[in-house]
Amino acid sequence: MRYLAAKTAGEAAAALAAEPGLTRILAGGTDVLVQLKSGLVEPALIVDIKQIPGIAEIVAEDGGYRIGAAVPNAVLGEHAGVVAMWPGVVEGANLIGSTQVQGRCTMVGNLCNGSPAGDAVPGLIAANAVARIVGPNGQRDLPVADIPTGPGKTSLAKGEVITSVFLPARPARASDAYLRFIPRTEMDIAVASAAVSLELNADDTVKAARVVLGAVAPTVIVAEEAGRICVGSKLDEATLARMAAACEAVAKPIDDKRGTVAFRTKTAGTLAKRAALTAYTRAGGTK
Amino acid sequence: MAFDEYQKREFKQVGKRVRRPDGVDKVTGRAMYGADATAPGMLWARILRSPHAHARIRSIDTSAAMALKGVRAVLTGADLPDQEDVFIRDVQNNCMAKDKVLYDGHAVAAVAAVDIATAKAALKLIKVDYEILPHVTDVDKAMAPGAPVVLDGRSLESVPAGMSANVTEHAEFGHGDLGAGFAKADMVLERSYKTPTAHQGYIEPHAALASVTSDGKAELWCCTQGQFYVRTLCAAIMGMEASQLRVTASEIGGGFGGKTTVFIEPVALALARKAGRPVKLVMNRDEVFRATGPTVHSSMDVKIGMTKDGRITAAEAKLRYSGGAFPSGTHSFGAQAAFAAYDLAAVRSYSWNVLTNRPKEAAYRAPGAPQAIYAVEATIDELCQHFGLDPLDVRLKNAARKGTKSSYGPTFPDIGLVATLEAAKAHPHYSAPLEPGQGRGISCGFWFNFGGNSCVSLNINTDGTVGVTEGNPDIGGSRASISLMAAEELGIDYDRVRTIVADTSSLGYNDVTDGSRVTFAVGLATIKAARDAVRVMCERAAKIWGIDADAVEWKDGAAVPAGPNAGKFPPMTLAEIAAVSFETGGPIAGHHEVNVDGAGVSFGVHIVDIEVDKETGATKVLRYTVFQDAGKAVHPSYVEGQMQGGAVQGIGWALNEEYIYGEDGRLQNPTFLDYRVPVASDLPMIDTVILEIPNPGHPYGVRGVGETGIVPPLAAITNAVCRSAGVRMHELPMSPPRVLKALSA
Ligand SMILES: Cc1cc2nc3c(=O)[nH]c(=O)nc-3n(C[C@H](O)[C@H](O)[C@H](O)COP(=O)(O)OP(=O)(O)OC[C@H]3O[C@@H](n4cnc5c(N)ncnc54)[C@H](O)[C@@H]3O)c2cc1C
């Protein structure tokens, strides 16, 4: 196993592209190191990206924020600007692991690990976040929603490295929220999760809504219909019930040791309702 | 039984919350745990484990592993002797399979190499040819006719004819006329329950370092609850004399019963003998879950008759326990404990042990009792709800007390159940109002406690300090308690006493640290060893004063003349006598060796408030109070720690902990991620109320307190969850998917 601490994103991409064997990128390492230790993967090359200039920084851009791929989630959680604009994204990222894990783990690592239960991913997708990718053939931007393709799989090509994610600007009366269900209160993996991002009209009715579900399908999924149902309402009980039903309709979970199909389906809807109410209140809505 | 030991006294040391002797080492990382031992030239070992739940081993080819550079020894079951003694054979086969693998994770081979990477690489080179056999992991399925047979020919005579060959043992307890009793009831409720396998979840994985010399002497350092028992088992497996094998117990990072037998120790010794070098073997967490000794899993039927005013007229329990792949006697503890809390005219409990393709169970705090008492206490609660009766009043109405003929035979001496129930009833927790949707549950709990073989040496140092040597690994604070009792008896300060845990060559046999026995039994031996030393010190003072030894007595840490006729001498303190001991006959020591009887039973009552989230089935524990009879709390903080620890483990078992097996018979959750013990943020502070109803069998009235605490939570949580959810559930754990399913049924 070789280890490379890349000095530029280009160097990282080139090294990853040139390696015929299995590769891993080392951001916080909170997935990679665990997988190495348990013998789950035996990569030929590990490329550490943390020394790439700027990759651990958060910068304001076009009214939104560009978050470097190696920004630890603990640092993200202390950034007043991001917290104020995208509280739901931050709350998802900050639910990961424990204080110790927070000091290392990254949203991009969470995304690229490819788990449908990753806590940072639904919030990013609800926010319409866009990833910046450097590959052997240059740079491109891709919506975060298009990155996960299945458990442990992403649409990134060989040699591609995400350098940052961009959280766009948003109007004043807008906010988001994320909730996950775990059987304990911490140190667990989401059995179902939901992120909701809302924009309100002046009369407190919902202008736009994006509802995203985690851990109920092979990838994080956008519940388009659930979002549409919220629009025009003040999230009254009848609307929320229809919204939850729409979430249940698109949930395609599996039965496993962490939860049953019935439980995950029902809980995804319940969490979406609750997250929507939190986002609504955060956006300044009153009923 | 010895029910005449207790003498009322004013305590000066016992009962103080003194500084713990192991604290500094533990918080600074100095404490030497199992994996901290090293030896010159040491090799590292790894174990190859079966991926199959049940398979015959056709052959094992270790040649490629042996040929790997850096490999010094490879071991398989064929290297170990054919044991005549059935019990030793089972223990050995559990550590290393011989002809069949009996569960996922069962050891089939082991390698010792110059480093871990080489040992791991060598495991991959071992070729095992398995003939996969049908498997069974569920107790009810294993009992059914036609079930795959785990081990044939192991049924004892007690097992009724015609049962599955997997049924190895049967027991029955009780008295009275059940039919007449049920006829007197206003309602007879019959319910069936299931409990999952739980693991003790100790933080420290098993670890051993073994060294065997060419002249047949061996040293073993390991993490265990009983170094003497480890010696017994390992000496038998290795064909060694006890005197040639010295076992030293490390500091221990939790055991809860799970470290009362051997898993890797004989393997480390056998590899060390083969390699001619010291061998270190440390389990990882996955191995701990798959191949140590979790609890039995159970399937139970309970039938209880009650009058409308809450008197239990008859009670019956049928307990089917599976202790995994080898015979286990834990079922009979369940049958004995099931109705121990109650004074019943007609009671019967029946139990069976059933073999399944799971790891062989080991003890876990009050082994066998939590399951049976869960079923009984949940059924009683349902009856209380049916009749609209206060659940504590019903327990009080039926409570066993002094003179009650217990459901398992003996007549109780002084016991603390009624006092414990009354304390619970009077406590503000019980009368605190509940919000709508919240539920309150209670349960009684019981454990027998144990005494057993204990040796203590107590040395009076010339500087007036005292060293106590005992032989039981300290898993719950026993060194502090033993020092306190020695100090009390000698009349000196706690800080002047240091207690250490000796290896097997330094002291006579001590039973394992189990059965909540150490503070009770080793404490009793310590008190008597101190009395022995006091006798010697009185003799020395008598010699110095030139009077009869009979004319000297011990008071407040000093020898004094016994009354005016003995002569007028100023008191001689322990330190003064010790300082001149070399001139008065030599070093002063006391010792005591005994097989202690008279362990007083211990009862507890738990109250818990719970709120179930009706939309997700999530359970929140709002408030929890433990009431338990400690006889005498020698070190109250440690006693509270035991009560809290037991409660937390029971809460985990009730709500989330379980072994999950797939269709393939493999354990699906051998990690702390998916085997969910409660984390700190899951629980409120567990409040404790210690009761002190002296145990007549101990000089200071001490009862064991280590186990009872895990017994009540299973039913207390069930009763609270079911009252909050408004629906009864009869299977543990009550994980959110199960609760939500019950709510939507
Ligand atoms: C104790 C513990 C608790 C945890 N709890 C949670 C939890 O509650 N919720 C949760 O969702 N997860 C949890 N995790 C998993 C893990 O912490 C998260 O997935 C984390 O966000 C991963 O980030 P990382 O920076 O450490 O990723 P790494 O381990 O460094 O990388 C993860 C994966 O992403 C790839 N990768 C990393 N960076 C890039 C990049 N810039 N471009 C392309 N690919 C990249 C790597 O190749 C690798 O496959 C936990 C882990 C531990 C050890």
- Note the CATH architecture for domain A1-48: 2-Layer Sandwich (3.30)
Instruction: Report the run of H or E that residue B13 belongs to, with start and end.
Output: none
Instruction: Report the run of H or E that residue B455 belongs to, with start and end.
Output: strand B452-460
Q: HSE, CB side, 13 Å, CA atoms: give it for residue B403.
A: 0
- Common-topology check for domains B23-31+451-596 and B34-134+213-283: no
A206-214 and A2-5: which strand pairing? unpaired
Token representation of residue B91: 């223990």
pLDDT tens string B242-256: 999 999 999 999 999
**For residues B137-154, average pLDDT:** 96
**For residues B285-294, average pLDDT:** 98
| Closest Cβ–Cβ partner in A185, A257, A263 for B674 | A257
All CATH 3.30.43 domain ranges of chain A, comma separated, are 1-48
C-alpha of residue B670 to centroid of ligand 1, in Å? 21
C-alpha of residue B104 to centroid of ligand 1, in Å? 30
CB A181 to CB B656 under 8 A?
A: no
In degrees and rounded to multiples of 5, residue B214 shows phi and psi of -70, -20
The pLDDT of residue B1 is above 50: no
Work out the burial of residue B7: count CB atoms within 10 Å of its CB; fewer than 13 is exposed, 13-18 middle, 19 or more buried.
exposed
C-alpha of residue A62 to centroid of ligand 1, in Å? 28
Collect all residues of chain A within an 8 Å Cβ-Cβ radius of residue B667.
Answer: none
**Residue B497 pLDDT class (50, 70, 90 cuts):** very high
The pLDDT of residue B13 is above 50: yes
CATH class of A174-282: alpha beta
Radius of gyration of chain A, Cα coordinates, nearest whole angstrom: 19
Tell me the three state secondary structure of residue B131: strand
The pLDDT of residue B574 is above 50: yes
Amino acid at B668: Q
CB of B604 closer than 8 Å to CB of B445:
yes
Q: Which residues contact A23 (CB under 8 A, 6 or more apart)?
A: A16, A43, A44, A45, A46, A47
In percent, the amount of chain B with pLDDT more than 90 equals: 97
pLDDT tens string A140-194: 999 999 999 999 999 999 999 999 999 999 999 999 999 999 999 998 999 999 9
Determine the Cα–Cα distance for residues B476 and B642; give it in Å rounded to an integer.
7
Determine the Cα–Cα distance for residues B423 and B564; give it in Å rounded to an integer.
47
Collect all residues of chain A within an 8 Å Cβ-Cβ radius of residue B120.
Answer: 39
**For residues B218-239, average pLDDT:** 98
Token representation of residue B468: 């106590």
Instruction: Report the run of H or E that residue B485 belongs to, with start and end.
Output: helix B478-490
pLDDT tens string B18-30: 999 999 999 999 9
Task: Collect the ranges in chain A with pLDDT lower than 70.
Answer: none
Task: Using alpha carbons, select from B729, B93, B656 the residue that is nearest to residue B374.
Answer: B729
Amino acid at B241: E
Q: Tokens 């001149």 belong to which residue?
A: B580
Collect all residues of chain A within an 8 Å Cβ-Cβ radius of residue B744.
Answer: 262, 266
**Residue B3 pLDDT class (50, 70, 90 cuts):** low
Determine the Cα–Cα distance for residues B283 and B35; give it in Å rounded to an integer.
9
In degrees and rounded to multiples of 5, residue B343 shows phi and psi of -95, 100
Amino acid at B378: A
| Closest Cβ–Cβ partner in B120, B676, B740 for A184 | B676
Determine the Cα–Cα distance for residues A248 and A229; give it in Å rounded to an integer.
13
CATH class of B34-134+213-283: alpha beta
Determine the Cα–Cα distance for residues A92 and A129; give it in Å rounded to an integer.
14
- Phi-psi region for residue B655, left (φ > 0), alpha (ψ -120 to 50) or beta? alpha
pLDDT tens string B294-307: 999 999 999 999 99
Furthest-apart CA atoms within chain A: distance in Å: 60
Collect all residues of chain A within an 8 Å Cβ-Cβ radius of residue B117.
Answer: none
Q: Tokens 């006091």 belong to which residue?
A: B534
Token representation of residue A155: 């649409």
Size (chain B), residues:
745
Determine the Cα–Cα distance for residues B169 and B151; give it in Å rounded to an integer.
13
Q: What is the 3-state secondary structure (H, E, C) of chain A?
A: CEEEECCCHHHHHHHHHHCCCCEEEECCCCCHHHHHHCCCCCCCEEEECCCCCCCCCEEEECCEEEEECCCEHHHHHCCHHHHHHCHHHHHHHHCCCCHHHHCCCEHHHHHHHCCCCCCCHHHHHHCCCEEEEEECCEEEEEEHHHCEEECCEECCCCCCEEEEEEECCCCCCEEEEEEEECCCCCCCCCCEEEEEEEEECCCCCEEEEEEEEECCCCCCEECHHHHHHHCCCCCCHHHHHHHHHHHHHHCCCCCECCECHHHHHHHHHHHHHHHHHHHHHHCCCCC
- Model confidence pTM above 0.80: yes
Task: Using alpha carbons, select from B360, B466, B375, B330 the residue that is nearest to residue B92.
Answer: B360
B497-501 and B619-629: which strand pairing? unpaired
| Beta bridge mates, A192 | A181
First to last CA, chain A: 59
- Ligand 1 — pocket residues by CB below 6 A? A 24-32, 34, 49, 69, 95-97, 101, 104-106, 108-110, 112-113, 118-120, 156, 161-162, 189
Furthest-apart CA atoms within chain B: distance in Å: 87
A205 in contact with B at a CB cutoff of 8 Å? no
Q: Residue A242: its pLDDT value, please?
A: 98
Closest-CA distance, A129 to chain B, in angstroms, reads 30
pLDDT tens string B654-669: 999 999 999 999 999 9
Q: Which residues contact A20 (CB under 8 A, 6 or more apart)?
A: A44
All CATH 3.30.390.50 domain ranges of chain A, comma separated, are 174-282
DSSP characters over B284-352:
-HHHHHHHS----EEEEEEEEEE-TTS-EEEEEEEEEEE-TTS---HHHHHHHHTTTTB--SSEEEEEE
Token representation of residue B260: 């009362």
Collect all residues of chain B within an 8 Å Cβ-Cβ radius of residue A263.
Answer: 617, 736-737, 740-741
pLDDT tens string B73-84: 999 999 999 999
DSSP B108: E
Q: Residue A39: its pLDDT value, please?
A: 85
Tell me the three state secondary structure of residue B473: coil
**Average pLDDT of every residue of chain B:** 97
Q: Which residues contact B67 (CB under 8 A, 6 or more apart)?
A: none
Interior angle at CA A112, CA A107 and CA A113, nearest 5? 95
**For residues B613-620, average pLDDT:** 97
- Phi-psi region for residue A87, left (φ > 0), alpha (ψ -120 to 50) or beta? alpha
- Phi-psi region for residue A20, left (φ > 0), alpha (ψ -120 to 50) or beta? alpha
CB of A224 closer than 8 Å to CB of A253:
no
**For residues B710-718, average pLDDT:** 98
Token representation of residue B212: 């065997």
Radius of gyration of chain B, Cα coordinates, nearest whole angstrom: 27
Task: Using alpha carbons, select from B362, B356, B361 the residue that is nearest to residue B665.
Answer: B356
| Closest Cβ–Cβ partner in A184, A258, A266 for B740 | A266
Give the dihedral sign, CA A233/A239/A242/A247.
positive
The pLDDT of residue B325 is above 60: yes
CATH number of B297-449+600-744: 3.30.365.10
What residue's CA is closest to ligand 1, atom 19?
Answer: A110
> Which pairs from B30-33 meet CB under 8 Å and 24+ separation?
B31/B251, B32/B250, B32/B251, B33/B204, B33/B207, B33/B223, B33/B250, B33/B251, B33/B252, B33/B253
> Which pairs from B721-724 meet CB under 8 Å and 24+ separation?
B721/B439, B721/B441, B721/B610, B721/B612, B721/B619, B721/B654, B722/B378, B722/B381, B722/B439, B722/B441, B723/B385, B723/B439, B723/B440, B723/B441, B724/B437, B724/B438, B724/B439, B724/B610, B724/B611, B724/B612
Task: Using alpha carbons, select from B123, B15, B139, B146 the residue that is nearest to residue B76.
Answer: B123
Closest-CA distance, A259 to chain B, in angstroms, reads 6
What residue's CA is closest to ligand 1, atom 7?
Answer: A96
Determine the Cα–Cα distance for residues B245 and B268; give it in Å rounded to an integer.
13
B745 in contact with A at a CB cutoff of 8 Å? no
Q: Tokens 């003694």 belong to which residue?
A: B85
Interface residue of B612, B735, B739, B743 to substitute, partner A, most A CBs within 10 Å: B735
Task: Using alpha carbons, select from A202, A266, A272 the residue that is nearest to residue A235.
Answer: A272
- Note the CATH architecture for domain B23-31+451-596: 2-Layer Sandwich (3.30)
Interior angle at CA B675, CA B672 and CA B676, nearest 5? 85
Closest-CA distance, A276 to chain B, in angstroms, reads 16
Determine the Cα–Cα distance for residues B614 and B622; give it in Å rounded to an integer.
16
CB B744 to CB A186 under 8 A?
A: no
Q: Residue B2: its pLDDT value, please?
A: 60
DSSP B677: P
Task: Using alpha carbons, select from B107, B289, B102 the residue that is nearest to residue B200.
Answer: B289
Task: Using alpha carbons, select from B617, B676, B678, B619 the residue that is nearest to residue B647.
Answer: B678
What residue's CA is closest to ligand 1, atom 23?
Answer: A109
